[in-house]
Chain A
Amino acid sequence: MERIPILRMGDFLLVTIQVDMHDRVALALQDDLTNRIVKNHARGVLIDISALDIVDSFIGRTLANIASMARILDAQTVLVGMQPAVAITLVELGISLPNIRTALNVEKGVSLLRAEVENNIMERDANYDI
């Protein structure tokens, strides 16, 4: 079975989904990312879906699971490049992805991820003070 490659960029992991994934490939990506967050001590995950021409309930659920899993492992997730037609369809399908931050492109996604990670560190330090 094909696997989606995961690249490392400093503290971040970058995934570019370029193929029309069947369900097991999506599940494998979820597992691989979870393992890599731990192994590489990643603070953020950037998922580029600009090449995806649909996101159905299964892929939507997988993306939401990745974000929840990352959150538990103290990493932030940003989704970039969702095509407008995909966004419109996703809303009509009934999926809202409430826990995922989104950005227009990879560059903006990286800035957002940096900001999120800093924010998270500041919040944590603030909690230690209490």
Chain B
Amino acid sequence: MQTTTSDRLTVRAEEDVVKVRQATRSLAQKTGLNLVDQTKVVTAASELARNTLVYGGGGEVLIEAISDGMRSGVRLTFEDKGPGIADIELAMKDGFTSGTGLGLGLSGAKRLANEFRIESRLGEGTTVVITKWKG
């Protein structure tokens, strides 16, 4: 796996969630994703960045253009040092929320991406990585 471009953004306020959406859009366009796939990955980015802010207490997002020799795509890594998630299986369920949301952010982001990985440790934080491939 090769990274061709990367950008690191801090998520500390609602305005930063908008910046993550814009940076993701711009890289998805450059990578050549079609409009529907751009829209899907930007929407997933918005959900995950908001989780980083609201539940993780803020954090960082790494936005990368990647290539594995066969294909190219966009990889997003959301990292926070918040409280972590006690039950990941439960958190991933459609409709589960510990707040006032719809409980669709994590499960929806997984559906919208091609690859989805989540790691979380109580008291240490949460990392979510998604990839959207071109084509």
B112 and A53: CB pair below 8 A?
no
Within 8 A of A (CB), among B13-46: 14-15, 17-18, 21-22, 25, 35-36, 38-40, 42-43, 46
Using Cβ atoms and an 8 Å threshold, which residues of chain A touch B42? 53-54
Which residues on the A side are within 8 Å of B75 (C-beta)? Answer: none
In the complex where A89-B43, A89-B112 touch, is A61 in contact with B101 (Cβ < 8 A)? yes
List chain A residues, Cβ under 8 A from B43: 54-56, 89, 93
Find the A residue at minimum CB distance from B102.
A57
User: Is B8 part of the contact surface with A, judged by Cβ < 8 Å?
Assistant: no
Can you list, as one digit per residue, whether each of B102-119 has a CB less than 8 Å from chain A (1) or not (0)?
A: 101101100110000000
B94 at the interface (CB under 8 A from A): yes
Point out the residues of chain A lying under 8 angstroms from B38, CB to CB: 85
Residues in B neighbouring A32, C-beta threshold 8 A: none
For the residues of B in contact with A, the DSSP-based class is: helix
A57-B40 Cα distance, complex, nearest whole Å: 12
Q: Please tell me if A124 contacts chain B, counting CB pairs below 8 Å.
A: no
CB distance from A103 to the nearest CB of B (A): 21
**A74 shortest CB reach to chain B, Å:** 26
Q: How many residues belonging to B are interface residues under a CB distance threshold of 8 Å?
A: 26
Residue of B18, B22, B43, B111 with most partner-chain A CB within 10 A: B43
A31 contacts B by Cβ under 8 Å: no
Q: Which residues of B contact A24 (CB under 8 A)?
A: 14
Residues of A contacting B102 with CB < 8 Å? 57, 60-61, 94-95
Complex CA gap A21/B17 in Å reads: 10
Contact present for B101 and A53 (CB under 8 Å): no
Task: Please report the C-alpha to C-alpha distance between residue A56 and residue B36 in the assembled complex, in whole angstroms.
Answer: 14
Complex CA distance for A60 and B112, rounded to whole angstroms = 16
Q: Name the residue in B39, B50, B105 with the highest tally of chain A Cβ atoms < 10 Å from its Cβ.
A: B39
Given A20-B21, A23-B50; A94-B107 close (CB under 8 Å) = yes
Question: Smallest CB-CB separation from A21: which chain B residue?
Answer: B18
Of residues 31 to 77 in A, which have CB atoms within 8 Å of B's CB atoms? 53-58, 60-61
A22 engages B39 (CB within 8 Å): no
State whether A92 touches B17 (Cβ < 8 A).
no
A54 to B20, CA, bound (A): 13
Judge if A88 is at the interface, Cβ distance under 8 Å: yes
A94→B35 CA distance, assembly (Å)? 19
